[in-house]
Chain A
Amino acid sequence: MAKEMGQLNEEKVFKDPVHRYIHVRDELIWRLIGTREFQRLRRIRQLGTTYLTFHGAEHSRFSHSLGVYEITRRIIEVFHNRPHWNEEERMLVLSAALLHDIGHGPFSHSFEKVFGVDHEDYTRAILLGDTEVNEILRMQGSDFPKKVAEVIEKTYHDKLVVSMISSQIDADRMDYLLRDAYFTGVSYGNFDLERILRVMRPMEDGAVIKASGMHAVEDYIMSRYQMYWQVYFHPVTRSAEVILSKILHRAKDLYREGYAFKQDLTHFRSLFEGEITLEDYIKLDEGVMQYYFQVWMEEEDGILRDLCRRFLDRKLFKYSEMVAVSEVLKLSGYLEEAGIDPKYYLVVDSSSDLPYDFYRPGEKEERLPINLLKANGEIRELSRESDVVEAISGKRRTDHKLYYPADLIEKIDNSELKKKIKHILKKDETDLR
């Protein structure tokens, strides 16, 4: 029978720029941090290609995961001895907070799309498979790894536990907003975390916020709204993401065509074959990917070489507002005629965000609302009390853009063809660059 781990003899602390200190008192958490699967998160950036827009955004999923753990630990302190909070769930929720991103791959947004993999599947595989993480979780109980997986997948029976990690106001979002704001250097993402933590109260279906803390929550919602449009959906970051995804597409297509790569594809072979093992997946990180991009800059294939150069030297695609689909298809034909392969050099990319929404029976986005606890014990949904939140509730904002290589278009010799392309892109001779 497994022996549950206890407290460390001495508390361990990590210095952290967002929370000042991350406090670890439990042996289980300490040992999970030391696993190779968790250490791998040091080599995966939290914001993928955003560092090409905001140069400070080099922080990793490792520091974010510690941050989510720390916020969760502090929420538990607030919940301690209050009704609805079950102290027996403490280690479960702390472990889930720490491990919620454990399955993320390098540049996961593009990576998952191109190779048809899902980081949630790898989170599950790391928690339940033959890994160091699993070995340590099992010391807490044979079904403990499965319970952690259920909390992260949002299928655990205790909704309060799930909501602490995944809801419209959870430890994950609160950490990433503050951390991403800090590292990108923007001032939008800040809000009063201390105040929100002080006014959180446990209820059966999730945490609620004491009504006196409503303004701190309003600030949090607005921070989130600003961060999405100013940082996460920045068009330059999206351009880098588009190029990254085209590099992976091109390399995969070449592999399937039997192209002879100069460098052995050790780390990519199983991915290209569609048979990636957990061990292969764990070995992949952003350092490995960027090494291959360097090497591929020396390849014979002009498209792969050019795309890698664009990514590493930050010679990104330019963008225009989306035009009608018929025009995009015409544009695709013109580029092909000019010898620019539209499969790799023309992309429609869309972003969309819903800053806050609440569930309406039978319809809408299936999100649980943020509820306020009034002094008389009444529960009120946030947007019914806050005019600021009401103004943006349920309002989705979407942006569609067209990405293309302006420099290659500029070099087209056929002036008539170039004119037609520029006409669709609604660019005159001077503003394409």
Chain B
Amino acid sequence: MTLLLASFDPPYWLSTLIKVVVVSAVVPTTALILGMVFLFKIMSWMQSRLGPQEAGPRGTLQLLADGVKFLQKEDIAPNGADRWVFKVAPLVVLMSTLLLYVALPASMRLVVADLDVGVFFVLAISSLSVIGVLMAGWASANKYSLMGALRAAGQLIAYELPMVLAVVGVVIQAGTMSLNGIVFAQADGAIFGWGGIGNPYILTQFVGFFIFIAAVQAELTQPPFDMPVAESEIVSGYQVEYTGFRFLIFFLAEFATAFAFAAIAAVLFLGGWAVPWLPTSSDWYYVLGPIVLFAKVMMVAFIIFWVRFTYPRFREDQLQSLAWKVLIPLALVNIVVTAALKVVL
């Protein structure tokens, strides 16, 4: 089986078709898994309540039932809305999510496009979603939507810089911007000459990991940084006028992006699809790689959602001062220390 996969070398049209099908199947699936496991089960467990119980065994099909319900709803555009922009906006958000999956490696060759600048690509693409959010907020002709969209745009300035700077430390240590290259560097690395478990960068880049997770939280507009969609203040912000499948697209994009960022964090800091004691050239990774990556993603996602369910939300200006006064200086110090150690060692 693994040998068969290793020798599989399809023509260009077939590989393109496979990639399109896989990405468009994986994105909703990941969103469903995260929504089901964390939003329903883990959240209800943390809040000492039962959660969904009726749809499917122990309520596991609740999200599918919700999705079907959304599809049945009428697609309403408000009266004063800029109809064309209003309808396109969710697709723009979803597009940025789909593009994120292009560069994610699930093993050495199970990757849609193994870019040399993979890190750069995912960070750049992820901020595109704000364009869709701004479009949605502006076109909705609603004051709450507009405030939510402007908050999202302001938030982008605050978290994007710490996120990039946090990743720079990893890039310096790995010496490459390719996501697969970073996985290899961690698998082949050594801790003070001991290569037993490789060198997952969470051990050396723990400051970067902390900053990255905080910035991811802001990117995903989750508590404590959920000001753009704050229900109790601006009533879900830019999503307030959306109904039916367009709202569903926002929902899908949010959770698929959460999965993608958890995967990026797993690749950058936890060693990605590789496990210790099995060389990265092994053919077993065609099967094992996605499983290992998925396990690591769930660990990171648990942290992300744990924080989401626990903390109250910041105010917009408090996020700005946190980002500019704490996270960015911390990330810069981290870069300097990493670079110095890289030169010395």
Q: Do A and B bind each other?
A: no
